[in-house]
Amino acid sequence: MVTARDHEIFSCTSEMAATCAVFDWSTTCLGPVDGWSQGLQTATAILLRSGFPMCLSWGEDLVLLYNDAFIPTLGAKHPTALGAEIAVVFAEIWDQVGPLQRSVLSGGDAVFHEQLPLVLERGSGPEERFFTFSYSHVPDVGRGGGPGGVLAVVSDSTRAVVGARRMGLLRTLATATSEVTDRRVAATTSLSVLSDASSELDHGACYLPGADRRLDLAGSFGAGRTWPESIDPGADEAVERVQASGRALVETLPKTHDGARVRVSVPLRVGSPDPGVLVLAPHPLRPLDERHHRFLRLVADHVGQVLAVASARADEQTRLALLAAADRAKSTFLSNISHEFRTPLTLLLGPLEEALGDGRPLDPTDLTSMHQSAQRLLGMVDALLAAAQGDASPRPAAPEAVDVVGLSDGLLQPFRDAADRAGLALSIRLDPALPIVELDPGLWETIVLNLVANALKYTMEGRVEVVLGAHDGALVLQVRDTGIGIAADEQARVFERFHRVAGPAGRTIEGVGLGLALVTDAVHAHGGTVSLTSTPGEGSTFVVSLPLVEAAASATARVRFDAAAAAALAGHAVPADAVPAVVDHDHPGPFVVVVDDNAGMRHHLVRSLSGLGHVVACVDGVEALALLRRRKPDLVVTDVTMPRLDGIGLLREIRADPDLAATPVVLLSARAGGDAATQALDTGADDYVVKPFTRDELVARCRTTIELAALRASRSAEAARATMLAGISHDMQTPVSVVSASLQMLRDADLDAEQRRELLRRASSRTAQLAQLVAQFLDWSRLSAGVEIAPRAEHVHLAELLDAVAREHDRARLSATAASSTRVVVCDRARTERILHNLLDNARVAARERLLVEVVELDRQVEVHVVDDGPGVDDRVRPWLFAAFGPPGRITGTGLGLHVSRAAARAQGGDLVLADTGPSGSRFVLRLPSAGA
Amino acid sequence: MRDVDVLVADDDPDIRFVVEIVLRRRGWRVTSAESGAEAVAVLSGDQAFDALVLDQNMPPGSGLEVVEWLRGQGDRTPAVLFTGLVSVLDLAAAEARGVRVLDKVAVEQLPALLDELVGPDGPGGPPSP
């Protein structure tokens, strides 16, 4: 008998051939090899010699034979799988592949599947693998009757499939985060990409280095887990190991029915000294082999890179923003500097150039102002130098023995006057018990002068307190004020160089913003501290604390200081001479108003322009506007930068007021350059003069401006006159034609009595109308020639007057109060009638149905109200209602009525106003003085 | 002499009164309107007119607007336009529309002007239907 060992089938060199050769096949349904059918023998021979993974399941029981290449697919099931029933060997996938095998076995078509996922058990837990395989039927050739078997040719595509998925994930990580410039966003975006790859990763979290070397949770994915918000590596051994070793750490997780089996913590290099940690739990069906480890490290590398790049980009943006801010600050500073220098320069150059030109000696008053200006320039230059030096190498303190009380007292003298001028109480309490101390007197001067000057500058009313004393071994200076205060978000910044707080200014807005920065430098040079508390609207307190070092008893103490510097600072904190402007009405020549917040400049302007006419000075736009409304000027010359209302603001107010709109305005500014000039001219300035300017230049340009304005005025006056005359003749035509035609017919025609009566009545009424028009025109002529209307003062019974007037207007009704009033008024009867006719004519045109005359009796006056229910006065027309010619484009009527009526009403001691107007009507009120008490 | 029908439109009641007297004395029939809009309403009705006397300024509407409307209908009824605003009016445009312009203060010249337009014994230029 031929044993299996010797059988030709098994005579090839493979492990399975050898195993099959010694296998006791009689223990299986196949029986001994001798009894095998031809088909089985051939199939087995092919199987054992093939290098491609194959297995053969034979017979009704589907007994399994397989080759070497198939062994990996079995894993731990080899070698006991040989000769066993395939349904048992692959029990875990039998419900998927079993039906396929059975169908092939019973003669069905061959089966082919590509990358079919199957969860196999190969001895280390379930794994998902992807198989590309074919099942084909092997007939039971040579025996007949048996079902034969199924040949499976199998290729494990798992590596390709999972590999492709992993590559896809890494690619998505890169593209999803390519534009991110924020680390947080980078972390959450990355985690969301990882979350989408749920077939590969079950859950995970990202920890980034935070404060105190802790790791903070930046995000997580995968539901149903809680992660600590922050980990202390010192306390967490696993994390510490990951960070220190730079290698991944694998933990086995407690078994849950659906949970991951392992968790891997990988170091995350994000460009900071300490790495973060990326924790990933792979999908339970992916075994953690070397490839998998490499993949997880790649994921961590990618995520780390994304985070590092995002951080770098964010830093870059911050840097750019800071550079831009610094650039802007520099430009603002340079602009301010230029501006601050120009005013004192004008005050120096002006008088000097005059003196050089005229050959006359300088005026003594000019000398004082020039000296002050020069001091101011010097002060600014010193401050700038100190600031520049402070930036480069902070000046160290050079302490001397100083009588700090005496020195401070002397420094504060000019501030007493300044406080008086400002109407503030200045309280100075210097502790006389303070000893002679070691102090740098120059730096001390800087500290005291700047803090007190600021306090005065920014306090409009109330008090400033200066307290100097010793406290716990420190020399403490407190400067407290009841001023405008500093907002919380500005308090840190006020000590910065060149920082000026935006918002309500102090008494003057001169200054470049160095004061407090210099104070800070001086304080720090002594090793001291400066602090600020402030409440906007209530006040501020600055506290300087320096180490108190007593000087040696024998040292001579210094009290000398620079009085001029102190005086200059005090003078600029509270500008001198806020004397209100006095207007001389009898002065001949043009009335010129100059506006500037700098006292020296005001003086200079008044003197320079005194040759033009009567010149009056104001300190700012608000004061100027009030003055302009009392008396119309022929010229306004104004600085641009002033507190409360600046030059541009003043110009706008002037142009918006119909009474003042045509006033010539010249702007003086320290801002040179086309843009500033264009803006000024666009806003309506007549001219724009840049500081420094000479007296001659200023005078010439002002004179030209006045002349041009006069020319424009006379042209527009002529145009207005022409329009007015056209209007007058138009208004007169209808009455004239009625009167003329009536008279002619009365003379020529044969008319009946009724017709004659009617003609006469109408002709009389229109004649009266003509008389009124003429009288109105005469009054207007007086007004425009500057002659006052001189009304008569007659005692007139009001009710009777109203009745007489109302009769002539058929729709007008008197109210009960009007009809029954017993008041007597003092007025010019004819003019008052004209005013009332004017109001009633207007009302009749406007009214829909109602035209009512009411009377309101007051103490010393009586009000006559003319009320209509018309559509009201249009908003655009309203500002022009009482003006002489009304808005442009008006062609009907003279436009004079209300203008003359109001002037007449005022001339007789009353007024005429539009009390109310709207879509349901208008109410005009004529006020008349009442006779008697 | 046949009946002559005249439409007088003016916003001033005294002007209407005076013109009515002047025209009725000659036996002409006068219909009045107070505004341009009212004049158009009357002219849209059944009555035909031999002449029109129109103020320029009589809101709503104006004398010229009435004439424009009428001429747009192909109606060539002669019209006299009373106006004080001769400078504003385009005289040429008025003449082109068969409109005669009369200064308002010269009311007494109106009858002679209308005679010229209408004809002393009957219609001069017949209105086309």
Residue A304 has pLDDT above 90, yes or no: no
Provide mean pLDDT across the span B31-58: 92
Cis before A254? omega within 30: no
Contacts of A751 in chain B (CB under 8 A): 21
CA distance B91 to chain A (A): 17
Closest alpha carbon to B86 in A154, A726, A533, A518: A726
- Quick count: other Cβ atoms within 10 Å of Cβ B60? 11
As a whole number, mean pLDDT of residues B53-81 equals 89
Confidence grade of residue A892 (pLDDT, cut at 50, 70, 90): very low
Question: Which residue of chain A is at minimal alpha-carbon distance from B13?
Answer: A762
Phi, psi of A66 (to 5 degrees): -155, 165
A737 inside 8 A of chain B by CB: yes
Whats the size of chain B, residue-wise? 129
Most confident of A353-357, A853-857, A893-897: A853-857
**Encoded tokens for A335:** 């602009």
Q: Is A252 exposed, middle or buried (0-12, 13-18, 19+ CB in 10 A)?
A: exposed
How far apart are the two ends of chain A, measured CA to CA in Å?
159
Give the confidence band of A76 by pLDDT, cuts at 50, 70, 90.
very high
Contacts of A889 in chain B (CB under 8 A): none
Q: Is the pLDDT of residue A785 over 80?
A: no
Confidence of residue A141 (pLDDT cuts 50, 70, 90): confident
Average pLDDT over chain B, rounded to whole?
82
pLDDT of A217-229, one tens digit each? Answer: 888 888 767 888 8
A61 token code pair: 């029981």
* Beta strand pairing call for A591-595 and A529-535: unpaired
Q: What is the pLDDT of residue A510?
A: 60
Which of A738, A740, A743 to mutate against chain B (most B CBs within 10 Å)? A738
Q: What is the pLDDT of residue A900?
A: 87
The residue to which tokens 């985690």 are assigned: A191
Dihedral sign from CA coordinates of A39, A40, A42, A47 = positive
- B30 vs A906, B12, B115, B124, CA distance in Å? 48, 16, 15, 18
Q: State the DSSP string of B26-51.
A: TT-EEEEESSHHHHHHHHTSS---SE
Cβ neighbours of A727 in B, within 8 Å: none
Task: Answer yes or no: is pLDDT of A201 > 80.
Answer: yes
**Contact criterion met (CB below 8 Å) for A408 and A468:** yes
CB of A739 less than 8 A from some CB of B: no
pLDDT digits (tens, 9 = 90+) for A660-686: 888 999 999 877 667 778 888 888 899
Given pLDDT bands bounded at 50, 70 and 90, which one contains residue B88?
Answer: low
A19-60 pLDDT, tens digit per residue, is 998 899 998 888 888 888 888 999 999 999 999 999 999 998
- Locate A470 and state its tokens: 């010793």
Task: Please give the pLDDT value at position B126.
Answer: 47
> What are the C-alpha distances in Å from A487 to residues A459, A484, A490?
15, 9, 5
Asked whether residue A629 carries a pLDDT value surpassing 50, the answer given is yes
A237-265 tens-digit pLDDT? 878 888 888 788 887 777 665 566 778 88
Q: Are B33 and B78 in contact (CB under 8 A)?
A: no
Residues A785-799 as b/e (b if ≥16 CB within 10 A, e otherwise) read eeeebebeeeebebb
- Do residues A467 and A483 lie in contact, with contact meaning Cβ atoms separated by under 8 Å? no
- What is the ipTM score, two decimals? 0.85
Optimal mutation site among A734, A746, A754, A891, interface B, most CBs of chain B within 10 A? A734
Based on the number of CB atoms within 10 Å of its own CB, is A233 exposed (0-12), middle (13-18) or buried (19 or more)?
Answer: buried
Supply the pLDDT for residue A724. 73
**pLDDT tens digits along A753-782:** 898 999 999 999 899 888 888 888 888 888
